[in-house]
Amino acid sequence: MSAHSTPIPMIAHKSGPLAGVAEVPGDKSISHRALILGALSVGETHITGLLEGEDVIDTAKAMRAFGATVTRVAEGDWRVNGVGVGGFAEPTQVIDCGNSGTGVRLIMGAMATTPIAATFTGDASLNKRPMGRITDPLALFGARAVGRAGGRLPLTLVGAVDPVPVRYTLPMPSAQVKSAVLLAGLNAPGETVVIEPEPTRDHTERMLRGFGAEIDVTDSAEGRVITLKGQPDLTGQSVAVPRDPSSAAFPVCAAILVPGSEITVPGVSRNPTRDGLYITLIEMGADIAFENPRDEGGEPVADLRVKYSPALKGVTTPAERAASMIDEFPILSVVAAMAQGTTVMQGVKELRVKESDRIDAMARGLEACGVTLEETEDTLTIHGTGAVPGGAVCESRLDHRIAMSFLVLGLVADQPVAVDDGAPIATSFPVFEPLMAGLGARIERTAP
């Protein structure tokens, strides 16, 4: 998201039943990866269903700056003519990744083993986020980073001239760190090995294999061991991007909470490394059916049929599930507030370094709406009573998922719920407003 975009205050009112088909946009994680791997391949990559949110558009611009030809043919339909592994050119401009941690971290990995330099920056949110978790493993390949204190952006990365392969155990469950190391490993000779003690989303591994890399994944006592053979010839592919389960979460949770609702969300990814929210909602008593399960472009997908679910109950989400629902805790905390009983979210400290500190952002906004809760560094506990008073203006803190979560709360709270700025929603879900309005949700922009 542009650092200078004008705030868009928004408000959500109690709404009648939601009904219809919610065609949510393409998966953000897969969209970034399709552009980056397309740029690192020889020949043409054809992407359909690409998310045209600001985060992904920033990655498309970055791939052009590194020398790839990236063309929009029609809505969601993009072509990338890549430069091949090791073929990135040195950008002549600063790479602005806007709001996107995924974009900047994966791109830093992709260039770290090429002998070029690039300077990265982002918006006020991204420039606060930790980058040492990326630059530390990239230094093992021979890359050098100079950034602000604490490894913050803006940061210049100088790629390794003679990269060496790396064996790296992830110190935190992060698909971004794993992916940065694997993408760097592409242009290092020999085998790069990443060990993840806790599994995280595996789109990079799946897509690398699809583009022709030799990549082996085995389970061991240490965790998942991912071995990539360096310097492969990647060739352009067709990539059909499934709909984003993290975006689907907003209309799905809205339909569960708004009395009388019934919606369908077609073609949503059901990748097991992304499925934690859906497992949790079913444990809480949600009425969700997964219809027409099928495989699309190497990813499992299904059509979701979701009905209003009275009598939701509080649950505990165990720490080992956190990575598979890491982006869904803000909206889960809204569902938890509307359920009966206590929901405990365990092992969630990574939420503190997302687009905002999501534990603090949700806790302060929910408290302002009359919800009782407790937080520790690593947990969020919500005491649900089946109703939320609402009637507050919540801060979205440059965080799309915080803004959308509070707007969903406003559809069921006793009094309307407002957010100070809905502009960040465009980073991941640019059609959120018309899509929700089409289902019958009363969400409006208000005068600043």
d(CA 5, CA 8): 9
Nearest partner of 2 among 85, 61, 70, 87, judged by Cα: 61
Binding mask 207-246 for ligand S3P (x = CB under 6 A): ----------------------------------------
Residue from the set 22, 78, 201, 429 that interacts with ligand S3P by CB under 6 A? 201
How much of the chain is helix, strand and coil, in % rounded to 5?
35, 30, 40
Distance of CA 294 to the CA centre of its chain: 23
Q: Is 28 annotated as a binding residue?
A: yes
Residue from the set 41, 45, 113, 174 that interacts with ligand S3P by CB under 6 A? 174
By CB under 6 A, tell whether 18 contacts ligand S3P: no
Across 3-126, the runs of DSSP E, i.e. the strands, are: 10-13, 19-21, 44-48, 69-74, 77-81, 95-96, 117-121
Least CB distance to ligand S3P at residue 385 (A):
30
313: exposed, middle or buried (C-beta count within 10 Å: 0-12, 13-18, 19+)? middle
Q: Which among 139-147, 172-180, 182-190, 206-214 is the span making contact with ligand S3P, rule CB under 6 A? A: 172-180
d(CA 432, CA 418): 15
Q: Is 174 annotated as a binding residue?
A: yes
Q: Is 327 annotated as a binding residue?
A: yes
Least CB distance to ligand S3P at residue 175 (A):
3
Closest CB to ligand S3P among 201 and 397?
A: 201
d(CA 41, CA 211): 8
By CB under 6 A, tell whether 179 contacts ligand S3P: yes
Residue 327 catalytic? yes
DSSP H or E stretch at residue 182:
helix 175-185
Looking at the DSSP assignment, which residues form a beta bridge with residue 119?
156
By CB under 6 A, tell whether 110 contacts ligand S3P: no
By CB under 6 A, tell whether 175 contacts ligand S3P: yes
Binding mask 327-346 for ligand S3P (x = CB under 6 A): x-------------------
Least CB distance to ligand S3P at residue 69 (A):
24
Identified catalytic residue from 327, 399, 420, 421: 327
Distance of CA 381 to the CA centre of its chain: 23
Closest CB to ligand S3P among 176 and 187?
A: 176
The angle formed by the CA atoms of residues 273, 276 and 281, to the nearest 5 degrees, is: 155
- Active-site residue list: 327
Contacts to ligand S3P by CB under 6 A: 29, 102, 174-176, 179, 201, 326-327, 350
